[in-house]
Structure 1
Amino acid sequence: MLEELEVRNLGPIHSAVLAPNKAMTAITGETGAGKSMLLSAVRLISGATASVARVTAGADSAWAQGIFDVDEDSTAARLAQDAGVLDVDNGETDPDPDEIGRRELFLSRTVPASGRSRAVLCGHSVPRSVLGNVATELVTIHGQADQLRLASPARQREFLDMAADDKAECDTYRVAWQKLQTLDERLNNLANQEASARQRADYLRESIEQINKVDPKPGEDEELKEKRARVENAAEIAQGVGSALSALDASQVDADTDAQGAADAINHAIQALRTIHVGGSFGQAADRLESLNADLSDIVFSLSNEVDTDEDAEGLDAINSRIHELDELTRRWGPTLEDVIAWRDKAAFEVEDLDASPEKVDEIKEQRKQAFDDAVKAAEVLSKKRKLAATTLANTVTKELSALAMAGAGLEIRVIRRNSASKNKTASKDGETQVPSATWPLDANGIDDIEFLFTPFPGSPQLPMGKSASGGELSRLMLALELAVAEKRTSGSSDMTFIFDEVDAGVGGKAAVELGKRLATLSQTSQVIVVTHLAQVASWADSQFVVSKGNTTAQSASSKAPIETTVNEVTGDARIHEIARMLSGSESATSLNHAKELLESSKL
């Protein structure tokens, strides 16, 4: 939802702040006052192409900023987080209970009088495309140029899918389609193998054979190097261990010796301390010596085993030879034996594909056939739901058009199922002849071609959207479409802001009242901003802003004085006077009374 729009030095607007209502806001003013500049500001912060011609004469740059209140779990907030400009924690230590789960997004754009424009999202410079992606989730502009986007088949399919609420069916189909694409890619790789691929397979087989011949074990090289060190230093080890044992327990070296070692001395000390029957620390000292003696016994036992170990000096050559073999493996496929073993296992799978044996190809082709059948089934389920939604949506929109002063107008939504019989035919796209792919009649979006056909008046042929209506007619068609999917588009959230321009073109009287009522109805689920010339439409708004122009200096009579556009909210009597001006161009007692009556009656 748009909380605030601020504009500086954009065309005739030197400075303006617009705080639209959460529901419906009307922007009014005389023709040429500069209402289009507010739409230009919204387009700028939505990532549209910037034009230096829009910068106010004499100003260094134009600037626009929109502040949007969004759900913290919304797509717009996620896109801002992905861009690195929005922290997950908003940093508030004592947030307002009503604001829990909400975030504010700041979208701004600076257009210098010369040079490149600058896009800023939440205080961080970002590419214009990022600003555009975020704005797409926040604002939908229905103006003569903006709404032509729905003329594209891709946009029409997206709109229909939203109306059909078929996300689950779309997700199921996309999974099946991705599996089909993966198998096609694998078959394509197998079919296009050349000499280089066969050479690769030969290299892998030879490498696997060489590794298997050595048959390395994880950590084996480190164990062998430790063993080699023991063999090479066997004499030094024996001498050192023997001397240590002689000092600790001489009986471990010579069973017939009468010499005492450290163990005997400690035992003697323990016995001496135990003979003291006076309380104190003597018993504690004896206990500590017994603990020390237990540790000493463990050390003696371990060293005795070392003496008994007979390292085979004659096997040193065999150890060195094995270490050399393992080093050759780690040098080529390492750096560790674990890496060598992992490389061999991965290479074995790669060889299977590179061999491209007929059996392997046939196996993958069978998998591909099953994947294609599964994708077709998923596409047919999706197609069925689209067709049901297309009928409902078209009927609803046609009824809305009748209430919007377009009796006899209608919308037909065609869900055209492609069929495999056309596979051998060529497909025309943008005037070029193309041969259907191996996945025909499927594509990334299913098995259907979607087409919106609009009949603007009785007797008119059905023509594609965007080529069959004036700006006003197309705006009313878009309003009818938005009304038809309002609940599904918002999905319980009112974050989306709809802006309508020229929606009242060619409308008057009772139809204008009905148009205002329809806009007010849409504002119950989403924020609506409408630029209008009709009092019957503006009267339905919850707030109204008037765009007016005048001279910036006291010499208003001077034709050379610069013109400045102002934007002001009108309430109370000021709004009654503005509605009266819109009704009759004057503020007579009759028109003022009429304005009061219109405002009082314009309520849902």
Structure 2
Amino acid sequence: MLDELEVRDLGPIHHALLDPSPGMTAITGETGAGKSMLLNAIRLISGSPSRTELVSPGGDEAWVQAVFSLDEGSAALRTIEEAGLPREEDGQVFISRNIPLEGRSRAAVNGRSAPRTLLQEVASDLVTVHGQADQMRMANPSRQRDFLDSYAGDQDLLEAYAQAWSAYGQTRKRLDALRNQQADVMVQADYLRESIARIDQVDPHPGEDRDLRARRDRIEHAAQINQGVARALGALDPSQVDPDADAPSAAGLVEEAISSLEGIGVEGTFQEVAQRLRSLNTELSDLVFTLSGEVDEGGQEDDLDKINARIHDLDELVKRWGPGIDDVLAWREKAGYDLEDMDASPEKVGELQDRCEREHEAALRAGRALSDARAEAGRDLGRKVSGELGSLAMSGAGLEVKVRPRPDEDLDAHGLDDVDFLFTPYPGSPQLPMGKSASGGELSRLMLALELVAADARANQPEAGKTDNPTMTFIFDEVDAGVGGRAAVELGRRLARLAVTSQVIVVTHLPQVASWADAQFVVSKIPAGDDRVETSVGRVTGGDREREIARMLAGSESATSLDHARELLESSRL
């Protein structure tokens, strides 16, 4: 609901502050006084393009701000939160816009800068303007479809169809992707088979490349190793190198030292040293045994050739799938699993094909159910709107809502049908698409009839089926064009009826309409000096309102017109 609208330096309005009623508010005034500027202010906070010619003469910039009160759970509040903008604690939303003479227009939501597209998204859940330019948007078939769905209260069917369509779309996307990948999959599968066969042919083992390189290094340095080992053995035990050698071994010499010390026969240091020498001798024997095992007996040239050939085969694997044999083995294991999946892809295509067909049938069933509900709601909507038009000085006018089924293959995200609002403005006129067959006033009254019927439907819908925001603000301009007499009274009555469930703001020149309002604002011209004229906007109550209604009735404030104004105000009650 719109709590407040403030305007500064917009056209002829230097400053204006409106606090419209939660029910019906009428904006009246002489022609050319500037009532349209208030609508321009609403359009600006709704995200319409800015125009520098809207800035008041002599002003640097125009500025407008609207304050809305929203219930918790409002779609507009969710949009603001999703955009990362702050929320006011009391649920109010402040939307402002400035239009400088130079530079870019700026918008803000709750004090934070916001793009114009966000204003459009937020305002779409808050305000609906029914002026001639604004109503052209209702000529869009998608808006007509959305309006019909809102009237039908078919939220459950919409959600069921959306889920079925989403499931079908996802499966179809997977199926198309899998089909498109078949050629690439075949090439990749052949590559994996050849690679796995090559690895299996070589049959590497974990760490084998490191072991082979260590063996090759030993063989390549065998002479140097044997020479060094022989000299070491010759020093430790000459008999290990030359069986005929007479030189004693190191172990033998140590053994002699042990015997000499033990022969002293005195306990203490000598026995301790003898014991240490015995331990040393044991270690020397182990060292000699180890070194003697390191002497190669020859015949390793053949081994070296085999090792080099094996290393060559392993290096080929490492170059392609390395950097090490362990990595090659890991790659081979994964490739095996991938190949299993690829070999199963024809079966997967078949499974997805079957699933896609089942989900397509499910989406068709959900779409047909939605179409049936739309068709029934469309017939009811057209009949009721046509009835309302007769009470709005449009006798013989009518609306037909056509729900046209499409072929099954033309199923899309919105269902299986197209929706057309066809309007007949007068008897004998051909049916024409809405927006192309009516004047501004006729179109405004048609939209009023639509909103009235929709409001009645919302009131009768169970809570779960309601899709509209009950705090919507409806603004009507030109709705009274070409209307007078009894039809004007009925027009005012119907606007007041709509205001029972929604906030209604109407710009009107008819006293029979303004008298039904809960609040009335008058837009008037006032001298501003230097032959300038400014526009003032003020709320009228009591006697001031009676005088304004009298002016609208007779152009004067005579006793007769004032009596008539009081009578009109008193009778304008639901």
TM-score when normalising by structure 1: 0.70
Give me the whole-angstrom Cα distance separating, in 2, the residues matched to 1:183 and 1:385: 27
Identity %: 55
Matched, 1:449 2:418: yes
- Contact 2:74–2:469 (8 Å) recurs in 1: no
Deviations 1:129-175 (A, max 9, x none): 00110000000000001011111110000000001111111111111
Which of 568, 571, 574 is the matching residue for 1:601?
571
SS of the aligned residue for 2:539 comes to strand
Instruction: Rate the CA distance shift 1:418–1:208 in 2: closer, same or farther, 3 A.
Output: farther
Equivalence for 1:514: 490
Which of 512, 536, 539 is the matching residue for 2:512?
536
The amino acid across from 1:452 in the alignment is: F
Equivalence for 2:480: 504
Segments of structure 2 that go 5 or more residues without pairing to the other structure are 208-316, 460-465
Instruction: Quote how far apart the aligned CAs of 1:114 are.
Output: 1.4
Give me the whole-angstrom Cα distance separating, in 2, the residues matched to 1:399 and 1:495: 26
Equivalence for 2:125: 137
The amino acid across from 1:31 in the alignment is: T
The amino acid across from 1:525 in the alignment is: T
SS of the aligned residue for 2:505 comes to strand
Instruction: Rate the CA distance shift 1:212–1:594 in 2: closer, same or farther, 3 A.
Output: farther
Deviations 1:338-375 (A, max 9, x none): x99998899579746xx753x43333222222121111
Equivalence for 1:472: 441
Give me the whole-angstrom Cα distance separating, in 1, the residues matched to 2:332 and 2:556: 91
SS of the aligned residue for 2:479 comes to coil
Instruction: Quote how far apart the aligned CAs of 1:494 are.
Output: 3.7
Equivalence for 1:81: 81
Deviations 1:486-528 (A, max 9, x none): 1555859641100000000000000000000000000000000
Kindly name which structure, 1 or 2, has the bigger radius of gyration based on alpha carbons.
Answer: 2
Matched, 1:370 2:353: no
CA RMSD of aligned residues (A): 3.5
Which of 580, 585, 594 is the matching residue for 2:550?
580
Matched, 1:122 2:140: no
Give me the whole-angstrom Cα distance separating, in 2, the residues matched to 1:342 and 1:36: 76
Equivalence for 2:274: none
Give me the whole-angstrom Cα distance separating, in 2, the residues matched to 1:391 and 1:348: 58
Equivalence for 1:174: 162
Instruction: Rate the CA distance shift 1:208–1:381 in 2: closer, same or farther, 3 A.
Output: farther
The amino acid across from 2:164 in the alignment is: A
- Contact 1:544–1:571 (8 Å) recurs in 2: yes
Equivalence for 1:32: 32
The amino acid across from 1:140 in the alignment is: T
SS of the aligned residue for 1:119 comes to strand
Segments of structure 1 that go 5 or more residues without pairing to the other structure are 93-101, 214-219, 222-324, 421-439, 554-559
The amino acid across from 2:536 in the alignment is: T
Q: What pairs up with 1:306-321 in 2 under 5 angstroms?
A: none
Give me the whole-angstrom Cα distance separating, in 2, the residues matched to 1:200 and 1:68: 61
The amino acid across from 2:427 in the alignment is: P
Which of 521, 541, 556 is the matching residue for 1:571?
541
Matched, 1:2 2:20: no
- Contact 1:12–1:565 (8 Å) recurs in 2: yes
Q: What pairs up with 1:458-497 in 2 under 5 angstroms?
A: 458-488=427-457, 491=466, 494-497=470-473
- Contact 2:452–2:498 (8 Å) recurs in 1: yes
Instruction: Rate the CA distance shift 1:52–1:190 in 2: closer, same or farther, 3 A.
Output: same
SS of the aligned residue for 1:148 comes to helix
Which of 549, 555, 570 is the matching residue for 2:525?
549
Instruction: Rate the CA distance shift 1:104–1:532 in 2: closer, same or farther, 3 A.
Output: same
Which of 354, 379, 398 is the matching residue for 2:367?
379
The amino acid across from 1:524 in the alignment is: V
Matched, 1:49 2:18: no
TM-score when normalising by structure 2: 0.73
Q: What pairs up with 1:121-520 in 2 under 5 angstroms?
A: 121-193=109-181, 196-201=184-189, 351=342, 356-357=345-346, 359-420=347-408, 440-488=409-457, 491=466, 494-520=470-496
The amino acid across from 1:600 in the alignment is: E
Give me the whole-angstrom Cα distance separating, in 2, the residues matched to 1:388 and 1:19: 41
Equivalence for 2:278: none
Give me the whole-angstrom Cα distance separating, in 1, the residues matched to 2:193 and 2:570: 87
Instruction: Rate the CA distance shift 1:510–1:340 in 2: closer, same or farther, 3 A.
Output: farther
Instruction: Quote how far apart the aligned CAs of 1:58 are.
Output: 1.7
- Contact 1:162–1:488 (8 Å) recurs in 2: no
- Contact 2:189–2:339 (8 Å) recurs in 1: no
- Contact 2:185–2:342 (8 Å) recurs in 1: no
Equivalence for 1:590: 560
The amino acid across from 1:548 in the alignment is: S
